[in-house]
Homo-oligomer: A and B are copies of this chain.
Amino acid sequence: MFDSALELVVRKLETRVGLSPDDRQAIFALPHVLRTYSATDYVIRDGEPPRQHCDFILDGIAFRQKMTVDGSRQIVSIHFSGDFIDLQHLFLNTADHNVEALTSLKVIGIERTALQQLVLQFPAVARAMWIEALVDSSIYREWVVNVARRDARARIAHLVCEIWSRVKAAGFLNPQGLKLPLTQVQLADAVGLTTVHVNRVLQSMRSERLIKDQRHVEPLNMAALAEAGGFDPRYLHLEQTSSANAS
């Protein structure tokens, strides 16, 4: 039961590098707990030191948000099954933002110091974790571009394409689509717009049959969406495996 949760961690890392039996054994030996959050629960709170456990999502969706001094909110990332929520705090000592559960969330919380040791002492695992962290960075860069340079329609289209691609790559997509219970308020906070405007743009996108409902992403017309969002998935580095096994 516990082991099956760590199995998911192993499987995730193996999408990036080959693991030896020793590596796998070390992962299975990680002290951990299973934990559940309800929607709207905080997983990480701005200003707090890292918790004792580092969470890896088994099921559900979480998002990361920052507040400005004048009180507006920006969602800066969204995380799904198979994501480490919290690489950030593996080696940093203070949270500079919040992470909140979007849906009810099942995670495996791995003991932070044990995970640090694993990363520091098992090169193959380290490689995989580095790749995860660097892809996170790459996604942030694309978000900068998204909110800075695309209009409302393209921003929303781009975000939907990203989510679609990531969830699909992680193997959690059923053919009838993806349940994504983002409210329009949250969607607006993710793309840097107001709710009112998001609402109007969504209506027009629905009338174009680009999307059906932002709370349920369906494979209506991904090609048209990608076109509308100027979406180029290279930044997700989905095919990135450590073929660079120069090691």
A interface residues with partner B (beta carbon < 8 Å): 64, 66, 68-70, 72-74, 76-77, 87-88, 90-94, 96-97, 113, 116-117, 119-121, 123, 126-127, 130-131, 133-138, 140-145, 147-150, 191-192, 230, 232, 234-235, 237, 240, 242-244, 246-247
Contact = CB atoms under 8 A, between A and B. Distances in A.
Contacts of A91: 127, 130-131, 134, 242, 244
Contact of A133 (B72, B134, B144): B134
Contact of A140 (B73, B117, B137): B137
Number of copies: 2
A230 to B, nearest CB: 4
A42 to B, nearest CB: 17
Judged by DSSP, the binding face of A is helix
Contacts of A137: 88, 133, 136-137, 140
Contacts of A72: 149
Given A66-B145, A72-B149, A141-B140, A135 B92 contact: yes
A44 to B, nearest CB: 13
Q: Max chain B CB contacts within 10 Å: which of A70, A74, A145?
A: A145
Given A94-B234, A133-B137, A148-B192, 14 more contacts: A66-B141, A68-B145, A88-B134, A90-B134, A91-B130, A93-B243, A93-B244, A96-B234, A96-B237, A119-B126, A119-B130, A130-B133, A144-B144, A147-B192
Contacts of A191: 148
A93 B242 CA distance: 8
Contacts of A142: 66
Contacts of A247: 113, 116-117, 120
A131 B92 contact: yes
27 contacts: A66-B142, A68-B150, A70-B230, A72-B149, A73-B149, A76-B144, A76-B145, A87-B134, A88-B138, A91-B130, A91-B242, A92-B131, A93-B237, A94-B234, A94-B237, A96-B141, A119-B130, A120-B126, A120-B127, A120-B247, A133-B134, A137-B140, A140-B141, A140-B144, A143-B144, A148-B148, A148-B192
